[in-house]
Amino acid sequence: MKLFLITILSVFFMSNAFAQLDKTENRLIKYVDEHNEQYLDLLKELININSGTMNFDGVRKVGDRLGKEFEKLGMTVKWVDGSAFNRAGHLVARIEGGKGKKIMLIGHLDTVFEPDSPNQKWEQVDEFTIKGPGIADMKGGDVIILQSLAALHDAGLLKDMNITVVMTGDEELSGKPLSASKATLIETAKWADIALGFENGDGNPATVNVARRSSSGWTLKVTGNASHSSQIFKPEVGAGAIYETSRILYQFYEELSKEEYLTFNPGMIAGGTQVDFSETENRSSAFGKDNVVSKDAIVTGDIRCLTPEQLIRTQETMKRIVAKHLPQTNAEIIFEEGYPPFAPTEGNYQLLNLFSTVSQDLGYGEVNPVNPADAGAADISFTSGYIEMGIDAMGMSGANDHTINETGDIRALPKQSKRAAVLMYRLSKGVKMNRGKE
């Protein structure tokens, strides 16, 4: 009797949720349910193709396979060659048939698992859990994009929408220069009104990202006067490169470490009489003696910020600290290009509210924002400043990303596809959104 009552209550609540959906939305749901096995098979096929970032043939093969599926939906498909930034390239699929909002969907084809990784194939862990390279990050998200668009196509809606899909081939290890590597993302963002990212985020379908912090690098180069250690601190010798380096790093910590959403990490340091540094490999070697004042030092690190203003302010503070100098030393800091911050705008919160309403209408519960301190940079970052609104982490639920134990929950595939399809349908109708809280 207890089980019977639970079943009846479950049916009641699900029916009540679906009562919020119109006839078209119910058709979208039906399509996903009836075709989910087909898309699971495709996901398995894609996972079994190695597409580590530097395996250009594999990345292109995944792109070609998905491109054929987008063409079946009436979309124009093109491959953006990546030779200008030493990567395989990007897949772009587009359809423009209406006057509604222009929506950009973001995925990526590459994984962190190169051909020499032991993690190469789809492996069933239990009824709902799959272990495999990129199932969560982010081939699962790519298939969610495709399945949601297929549902819209089946309902006769896609041909009247403005959709561009960008699946990059170098999200896990960006090609350089970034101006070339991310040009397709930026160009599409300038076209778009709305961006939807299908990374897996924190692996929890009850959350999405309304913000992501930046990720950029810096290099600190310091010089001093080489001399016998017995002469250190004398006016003509000064403090040496290592003392100057330690002063700078300590002052970075003192002045900036308490600021919310800001992190800056010195990840590599080398100093001594002679320092050799390979920028391409981010590798150093150093030689020095205890009785010799250090002549050179080098430090490389990163900065992560929540807004462009915070990044500029941080860089100015770091430059001011570097410019002071201990006696007879010199230092310079070089800031490198990187992923910009995806700031938490009012528009992003409005889109979150609509997505949360969709989720609740489908019976999946409320969706909340991820703490930006827990969110790394992603391709959606390059839409910042161009779009009206955007959210990320609409992809596959999973765990242990970037490790050989990466897993995905296959129950997320139909769930996320339904939520994405209904969201895009409502956006295409110009659904009014409540004012969000920034």
Average pLDDT over residues 276-292: 89
Sequence-ordered strand ranges (E) for 169-225: 194-197, 207-208, 216-223
What are the pLDDT digits (tens) for 324-340?
999 999 999 999 989 99
Query: Last residue of some domain: 335, 358, 378?
Result: 335
The region that residue 346 occupies, defined by phi over 0 for left and psi between -120 and 50 for alpha, beta otherwise, is alpha
Does residue 433 belong to any structural domain of this protein?
no
The answer to whether residues 259 and 208 belong to one domain is no
The answer to whether residue 84 is domain-embedded is yes
Phi-psi sector, 5: left (phi>0), alpha (psi -120 to 50), beta: alpha
Are both 187 and 74 inside the same structural domain?
A: yes
User: What is the Cα–Cα distance from 412 to 394, expressed in whole angstroms?
Assistant: 10
pLDDT tens, residue by residue, 240-274: 999 999 999 999 999 999 999 999 999 999 999 99
**Residue 280 and residue 176 share a domain:** no
Share of the chain above pLDDT 70, in %: 94
Helix (H, G, I), strand (E, B), or coil: what is residue 398?
Answer: strand
In the predicted structure, residue 163 carries a pLDDT above the cut 90:
yes
pLDDT of residue 99: 78
- Confirm whether pTM is higher than 0.75: yes
Report d(CA 180, CA 182) in Å as an integer. 6
Beta strands, E only, 65-140: 76-81, 89-96, 102-108, 123-124, 129-131
Residue 133 forms part of a structural domain: yes
State the pLDDT at residue 19.
Answer: 54
151 touches 421 (CB < 8 A): yes
Fill in the amino acid letter for 220: L
Q: Which of 23, 33, 61 is nearest to 150 (CA)?
A: 33
pLDDT value of position 15: 42
CATH number for the domain that contains residue 398: 3.40.630.10
Residues 105 and 208 in one domain: yes
330/396 same-domain check: no
Instruction: Tell me which of 131 and 19 has the higher pLDDT.
Output: 131
Q: How confident is the model at residue 22 (pLDDT cuts 50, 70, 90)?
A: very high
Taking a C-beta distance cutoff of 8 angstroms, is the pair 275, 286 a contact? yes
Q: Residue 305 and residue 384: Cα distance in Å, rounded?
A: 13
Cα–Cα distance measured from residue 145 to residue 123, given in angstroms and rounded to the nearest whole number = 23
Token pair, residue 126, equals: 């239990």
Of 272, 306, 335, the residue that ends a domain is: 335
Residue 435 in any domain: the answer is: no
What does DSSP say about strands 207-208 and 368-369: parallel, antiparallel, or unpaired?
A: parallel
- Residue 16: pLDDT over 70: no
Domain annotation covers residue 169: yes
Domain assignment present for 90: yes
CA dihedral 377, 381, 382, 384 (to 10 degrees): -150
162: Cβ–Cβ under 8 A, 6 or more apart, which residues?
A: 95, 96, 97, 98, 100, 101, 102, 103
What's the mean pLDDT in 37-43? Answer: 98
Strand order in the sheet with 389-391: 76-81, 89-96, 162-168, 102-108, 194-197, 389-391
Asked if residue 353 and residue 280 are part of one domain, the reply reads no
Quote the CA–CA distance of 337 and 174 in Å, as a whole number.
11
Which pair of tokens denotes residue 109? Answer: 């084809």
**Is the residue at 371 inside a domain?**
yes
Same domain, 259 and 137: no
33 with 113, same domain: the answer is yes
Residue finishing a domain among 335, 353, 376: 335
Confidence of residue 6 (pLDDT cuts 50, 70, 90): very low
Q: Is residue 35 part of a domain?
A: yes
Distance in angstroms (rounded) separating the CA atoms of residues 310 and 316 = 10
Do 83 and 144 fall within a single domain? yes
Same domain, yes or no: 321 and 348? no
Span between the terminal Cα atoms of the chain, in Å: 48
Instruction: Mark whether 207 and 222 lie in a shared domain.
Output: no
Number of domains present in the structure of the chain: 2
Range of the domain at 347: 2-213+341-428
Sheet of 123-124, strand order: 123-124, 129-131, 407-409, 398-399
Return the pLDDT at 8.
40
What is the CATH classification number for the domain harbouring 284?
A: 3.30.70.360
Same-domain pairing of 180 and 232: no
> What pLDDT is attached to residue 10?
40
Q: Which region among 10-14, 108-112, 182-186, 246-250 has the lowest average model confidence (pLDDT)? A: 10-14
Rounded Cα distance, 74 and 359, in Å: 28
